[in-house]
């Protein structure tokens, strides 16, 4: 399966379980690996034959910046579901880093993989 990657999408959202984390938006970094068939787009050079990742990115930004989830796991699941609304995407791997979440660590992160259901 071919892949489209969106790397290092830096956004801000309310995320976390502690009272201090619920007051102000925090930085997160999202990486996506979209599994899709790029054969037709490779032949046609036509946007209609591929995933419009700019439009997808805008939808993700809108959802993430308006969300207030407690867990990165929940946010990752939400992003995966949003990606899979696009039927051209067969599967998606979502990785979300939360920089500074743990002392002495660059970030804490979750990674999930979801695919279209038959």
H or E element at residue 112: strand 107-115
H or E element at residue 100: none
What is the side-by-side order of every strand in the sheet holding 91-99? 2-13, 26-36, 91-99, 107-115
* 98 noted as active-site residue: yes
Active-site entry in 25, 54, 58, 98: 98
User: What positions carry a catalytic annotation?
Assistant: 98
């Amino acid at each position: 399966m071919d892949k489209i990657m969106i790397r290092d999408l830096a956004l801000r959202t309310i995320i976390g379980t502690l009272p201090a984390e619920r007051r102000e938006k925090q930085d997160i970094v999202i990486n996506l690996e979209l599994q899709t068939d790029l054969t037709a787009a490779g032949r046609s050079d036509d946007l209609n034959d591929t995933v419009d990742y700019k439009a997808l990115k805008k939808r993700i930004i809108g959802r993430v910046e308006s969300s207030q989830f407690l867990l990165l796991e929940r946010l990752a699941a939400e992003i995966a579901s949003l990606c899979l609304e696009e039927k051209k995407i067969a599967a998606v791997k979502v990785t979300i880093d939360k920089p500074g979440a743990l002392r002495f660590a660059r970030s804490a992160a979750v990674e999930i993989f979801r695919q279209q259901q038959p």
